[in-house]
Amino acid sequence: MTQCAISPLAVERDSFFKLALAIGVMVAGLEIGYLIYCPLPYDPVGYLVGRDFANTWVGGELALTGAPQTRFGVDAYNALLAEKFGEHYPLHIWSYPPHFLLFTWPLSLMPYLVAYFVYCAAGLIIYLAVVTEGHRRTDHLVLLVLAPAVTVNIWCGQNGFFIAALLVGGLVQLDRRPLLSGVLFGLLSVKPQLGVLLPIMLVLTGRRRTIIAAMITIAALLILTTLWFGPTVWTAYVNDAMPVQGKVFLRDYENFMTHMPTAFMNARVAGLSLPIAALWQSLLSLASIIAVIWTFRRDRDADLSNAVLVTATFLVTPYAFNYDMVVFGWVIIKLIDRRDNTAWDYGLMLAVWAVPFLTVPLGIAGLPVSVLPILAFGARVLWRMASSQMAPRKQLHAGTTPQLGAAV
């Protein structure tokens, strides 16, 4: 009887899939247990389930009043939350730019829990539709749905699904529909720190139509926001909301730092001073910018280039949360089938996969290492591009190894 030989690559990839699946199931199980234990609509600590979604839901109500700027200050905003949810409701701050309100007001027309469910379900569906690019592979869908970042995003009630869909959608449509790509990048301005490297990439690759479309989209959002809420919405955001963000996240409330796998926040978790943390972040930010410039100054492997861009986005900013890492699901499903992967590549992908969940316990334990898997993964991708002979673009995905559907 003839036995079929199994390549070492297939074994490594199968091991990655099983370990990633096990981690994803464990984290999802913790979320399910948390929801079962919660005295709905509140959690055991006193937050509404979906914690940060309270900002989105209340922000929608503020948008309908026509004057949300009156509540941007931390005292005024928390007084409003106390009126709605009880006088001892935990502290929140308003952190979103005003044009975010253009998209959230319909949610305030629903009861809170209904709106929270719709927000998470719609976001996940849109995210899956965008990142799979019409290719519904079972193993990819399983990985995307059970990614720890997905569970963390649902637990926090955050916008990671929508932000990932905008970023990935813009990158996917660059060649196909450059104007649509620009519109998606323009909409990403609701979370500008996750699009800070896009201008560099677009300029280096000569995407003039995309740049113009993005600029027009941003201008339209600013004009529409000003017409709806008045020009004072911008001054209130700058004077009342932004200073509070700096104070809360950089100085007074260090528990938020445990949710951020960034160089600056890791340094703060380690107890380093603000100047030292800022220096460490500045050095890594500069290195990230150089990496993006090197990557996109010439035509290279598309999937590896996008992996560098996404990874550098999380290294260049001090302000990125674990739930923002939903976008790494797309990066991983684009890389797991490559023939040039090694055990190191799968190991680093698995480490990045687990970071959104591990960030918090590592931070609480005072271990400032959550940024290291992201840094190591980015460095490895750069090394692969620098050391390998790049194939022509049309051959990049040729001859991939068999799918993992049988492992599901």
Instruction: Find the DSSP H helices in 270-301.
Output: 274-296
Tens-digit pLDDT profile for residues 384-407: 999 875 444 433 333 344 344 333
Residue 198 covered by a domain? yes
Residue 7 covered by a domain? no
Residue 14 covered by a domain? no
Q: How many Å apart are CA 88 and CA 90, to the nearest integer?
A: 6
Enumerate residues 6+ apart whose C-beta is below 8 A from 135. Answer: none
Tens-digit pLDDT profile for residues 105-130: 999 999 999 999 999 999 999 999 99
Angle between helix 160-172 and helix 148-156 axes, rounded to 10 deg:
130
What's residue 402's pLDDT?
A: 39
Q: How many Å apart are CA 348 and CA 362, to the nearest integer?
A: 18
Are residues 53 and 387 in contact, defined by beta-carbon separation less than 8 angstroms?
no
Written as one letter, the residue type at 274 is: L
Provide the whole-model pTM.
0.91
Question: What is the residue whose two structure tokens read 């963390």?
Answer: 152
Tens-digit pLDDT profile for residues 70-105: 999 889 999 999 999 988 899 888 889 999 999 999
Residue 401 covered by a domain? no
Q: Identify the bridge partners of residue 48 per DSSP, sorted by sequence position.
A: 42
* pLDDT above 90 coverage of the chain, percent: 76
Question: What is the residue whose two structure tokens read 């990633």?
Answer: 20
- Domain boundaries, position 286: 19-385
Are residues 99 and 225 in contact, defined by beta-carbon separation less than 8 angstroms?
yes
Counting the structural domains of the chain, the total is 1
Residue 229 covered by a domain? yes
Between residues 392 and 382, the one the model is more confident about: 382
Average of per-residue pLDDT across 160-177: 96
Banded pLDDT at 254 (limits 50, 70, 90): low
| Number of CB atoms found within 10 A of residue 268's CB | 28
Residue 39 covered by a domain? yes
Residue 293 covered by a domain? yes
Distances (CA, A) of 305 to 141, 299, 408: 23, 9, 29
Tens-digit pLDDT profile for residues 4-54: 556 677 788 899 999 999 999 999 999 999 999 999 899 988 999 999 999
Tens-digit pLDDT profile for residues 193-251: 999 999 999 999 999 999 999 999 999 999 999 999 999 999 999 998 888 776 656 65
Residue 398 covered by a domain? no
Tens-digit pLDDT profile for residues 317-367: 998 999 999 999 999 999 999 999 999 999 999 999 999 999 999 988 989
Average of per-residue pLDDT across 252-259: 70
